[in-house]
Amino acid sequence: MLSRQLTGLAARCFSTSAAAASTNPNELKYWPMPLPPSAGASKKMNMFQALNSALDIAMKSDDSAVVMGEDVAFGGVFRCTLDLQDRYGKERVFNTPLCEQGIVGFGIGMAAMGATAIAEIQFADYIFPAFDQIVNEAAKYRYRSGNEFNCGSLTIRAPCGAVGHGALYHSQSPEAFFSHCPGIKVVVPSGPVQAKGLLLSCIRDRNPCIFLEPKILYRQAKEEVPEEDFMLPLGKARIAREGTDITLIGYGTQVHVLRTVAELAQEQLGVSCEVIDMQTILPFDEDTVVESVKKTGAAIVSHEAPVTSGFGAELSATIQERCFLHLEAPVERVCGFDTPFPHVFEPFYLPNKHRCLEAVKKIMDFRK
């Protein structure tokens, strides 16, 4: 059944032009983010280097900061913790057993005792054994103690999303599971500048944070990044591209897909699309989303996670509640499907530029 569904989808997605059918549907173009104001000296970095820089600064400026996880001592499978143990010693950067529940539980304990705990889950797909620790302990610790105790100095990093060959257990995007849980913050950067600035903000925030890193961007994304310490605000979206006709909303890797869609919509359809990069999933920036949709009158929400109960559903509901009288077409969601993440069918599962452009056309047809 899944095979037939995705094969049919492929035919629909790529019937728009011969050129589209002959190219890689998931070929990703990276759109750099401008340097923050007063950034000072900068250096070209990819995303894993920017994360490494953030961790280095956090550990240098805070003697209590500790990095832990599977294989972090030699740099981790994606090299984000490279050389940190050499700089700060085995007591502050150390490998853990292959036990996600233990990694997060240990991090909660360290944070509750006043340390800054930075825990790495090697792949976001394996964060689920730690689900109870995160949603029943870390998120509720301050509340259950009447603010006498907290583990707010806990940050959990995890690589997420598709890379082209990860399939069932190495391509998932679990952000929606945690967006339902008061007491934690959930952050997803879309490039090196954000990765560094948002990670430093998470580490220093007084609430437990889950920091999801789109792993396809670790080496693909490269841009000028401030060398010194800087932070970007949590809970604030950014306008990645201004437009007037349709608001495109995404986060992580999908921001770059939507930027490409906005260019294609302008070139092929004469449609001006505004692109919003959410940056923070919980708490999310309702006002930026609402103001944009009131201006454009239409919205497309896109993410790699399955469509049912994905974070796009929350965004769509908020838009319907706060922008109803401004909407000129139904809110469109272009997301992953309600199946396990496939391997051979990954090109058709992902919300690529062709599927998103079809949603733009659908909205414009509805307005006629």
The residues annotated with a catalytic role in the active site are 100, 170
Count CA atoms closer than 13 A to 283's CA, side-chain side: 10
By CB neighbour count within 10 A (0-12 exposed, 13-18 middle, 19+ buried), where does 368 fall? exposed
Please report, in angstroms and rounded to a whole number, the separation of the first and last CA atoms in the chain.
35
280 backbone dihedrals φ, ψ, rounded to 5°: -115, 130
- Which residues are paired to 198 by β-bridges? none
Nearest to 41 by CA among 222, 191, 228: 228
CB-based contact 50:192 (threshold 8 Å): yes
Q: In what order do the strands lie in the sheet with 154-160?
A: 93-95, 65-69, 116-120, 154-160, 209-214, 185-187, 280-282
